Structures are given as C-alpha cells and as structure tokens.
C-alpha cells in the first residue's frame, strides 16, 4: 500500500543546541491507527509538529503522498494543511464565542470533500449540543467537538497530541473508542501521540521514541478494545 506520509532522516536541533531528533524515518499507511509512544521530553510533540507541517526540521524530508512539504512555501503549505490535515490537541482550542455547530463548520475546507455532518456529530454523541457554547460543555464533550472540527474535512491524516491528556478515565476511553470508530467508519488514518501504555495496546501499530531515535516499531497482533484499557 502506498504510504500516506513518509519521513526521511528527520533531524531537529533547537536554537539552544539541543538535538531532539537524530534521524527519524517512518511511513504511515492508509486507514491505520498508529500510537507514538515515549517518555516526557523525548521529542514526540516535536516529531508530530514536523510531520504535520507545523514545524520545520533542521534536516530531512517529509512527504504527504508524493508532495514534499518540507520544501513548500508557507502559502502552499497552509493550503495543503487546510485540505489534508486534521489536528487535535490536549486543550481542545475551541472558539468560545462560537456555537458547537459554528466551531465544527470552521474545520470545513472549501476545496475538499466533507464527512456527513449529521452522521459525524451523532457518532461523536454531540448532535444534541450543536447550539450550545464551549463553556457550557464538559471537557469530554469539548474534546469530541474538537475531533468533529478536525475530521469534518475528511483529512488524509489526523494528528492527535495527548488528545486524552486533560480527560478522566471514562472520557479518555470514550475518545479513544470514538477515534477507532471514525477510523473504521470513514477510513481515517490516525497518528496518536501519548505516554499512556494502555492506549498503545489499542493501536494497530506502535512506534516508540528514545534518545532522538525510533526504538521500536511493531504491529499489535491483537489490539485490545478501548473499553478494556486498565488505567493506572
């Protein structure tokens, strides 16, 4: 299967001289759920930001399909991101003066196809909240709205950085379960960053980072259901 994303020899040295990534190469295949795992400070967010076009590597190349994004102009990259990439962060980042419906509509990209709004909001169990404002929602509900906003444009790739980091156990399990449902229902491809070993057990594939390099990269033969995760 042709990769949806490939990275070759990604290096990142920050201005203070810290060499966080030391030559990372990987490929992501379509309709997969990959967890990127590693201890705090090992460079997960840095790598995710480089793969999703938010940060430039010091050297190395990133391709979305055949398109090399590391050599794009800022305008070209902004266009590509708008149509091809979805992002979900730990702290939701919803716009407080817009309703749930308006927050989701912001994620629509004019030039790309959309997922069916009603089916998506029903699946995420937010269809009864569309006229409310973010401040009227629980953390779990806000994160599910952020997921809807990120996927409504049917992104080629959905990047999630500690997407359950601010949630309690029940809501975290629900978010992971719903992301798996979205993958299965709409064929999405998901790269999920976490330091939670239980979430890694639900993934198709696990990549671990250590000392700026990929330490392990393996397929889960029998992923567990997100509802069977044991929180610790």
Q: Does position 208 bind Mg ion by CB under 5 A?
A: no
Q: Is 17 in the site for ligand ATP (CB under 6 A)?
A: no
Q: How many C-beta atoms surround the C-beta of residue 137 within 10 A? A: 18
Residue 43 vs 86, nearer CB to ligand ATP: 43
* Binding of ligand ATP by 189 (CB under 6 A): no
Q: How far is CA 87 from CA 13, 83, 129, 205, 214, in A?
A: 24, 12, 22, 19, 22
Query: Does 140 participate in binding ligand ATP (rule CB under 6 A)?
Result: no
46 binds ligand ATP (CB under 6 A): yes
The answer to whether 18 contacts ligand ATP (rule: CB under 6 A) is: yes
> The dihedral of CA 153, 188, 175, 54: what is its sign?
negative
Residue with smaller CB distance to Mg ion, 43 or 60: 43
| Residue 45 binds Mg ion, judged by CB under 5 A | yes
Neighbours of 75 (CB within 10 A): 8
Spatial separation of the C-alpha atoms in residues 67 and 161, rounded to whole Å: 23
Task: Tell me how far, at minimum, the Cβ of 193 lies from ligand ATP, in Å.
Answer: 7
Helix axes 139-151, 169-186, angle to 10 degrees: 20
DSSP-derived letter for residue 229 is: P
User: Choosing among Mg ion, ligand ATP, none, which partner's interface includes residue 115 (Cβ < 5 to 8 Å by kind)?
Assistant: none
Q: Which does 40 bind (CB under 5 to 8 A by kind): Mg ion, ligand ATP, none?
A: ligand ATP
Residue 195 binds to ligand ATP (criterion: CB under 6 A): yes
DSSP secondary structure string for all residues of 56-86:
--SEEEEEETTEESTTS-HHHHHHHHHHHEE
Residue whose CB is less far from ligand ATP, 22 or 132: 22
The answer to whether 155 and 100 have CB atoms below 8 angstroms apart is no
Q: State the minimum distance, in angstroms, from the CB of residue 14 to ligand ATP.
A: 3
What residues line the site for ligand ATP (CB under 6 A)? 14, 16, 18, 20, 38, 40-46, 195
């Amino acid at each position: 299967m042709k990769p949806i994303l490939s990275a070759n020899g990604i290096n990142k040295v920050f201005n203070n001289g810290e060499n966080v990534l030391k030559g990372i190469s990987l490929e992501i295949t379509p309709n997969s759920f990959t967890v990127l795992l590693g201890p705090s400070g090992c460079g997960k967010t840095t790598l995710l930001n480089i793969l999703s076009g938010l940060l430039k590597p010091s050297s190395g190349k990133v391709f979305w399909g055949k398109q090399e994004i590391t050599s794009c102009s800022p305008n070209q990259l902004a266009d590509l991101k708008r149509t091809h990439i979805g992002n979900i962060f730990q702290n939701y980042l919803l716009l407080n003066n817009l309703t749930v419906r308006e927050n989701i509509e912001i994620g629509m990209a004019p030039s790309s196809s959309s997922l069916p709004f009603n089916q998506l909001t029903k699946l995420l169990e937010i269809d009864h909240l569309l006229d409310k404002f973010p401040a009227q929602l629980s953390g779990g509900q806000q994160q599910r709205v952020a997921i809807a906003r990120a996927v409504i444009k049917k992104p080629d790739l959905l990047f999630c950085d500690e997407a359950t980091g601010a949630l309690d156990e029940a809501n975290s399990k629900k978010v992971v379960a719903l992301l798996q449902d979205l993958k299965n229902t709409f064929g999405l491809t998901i790269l999920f960053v976490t330091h939670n070993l239980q979430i890694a057990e639900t993934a198709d594939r696990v990549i671990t980072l250590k000392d700026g390099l990929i330490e392990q990269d393996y397929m889960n033969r029998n992923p567990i259901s997100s509802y069977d995760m044991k929180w610790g």
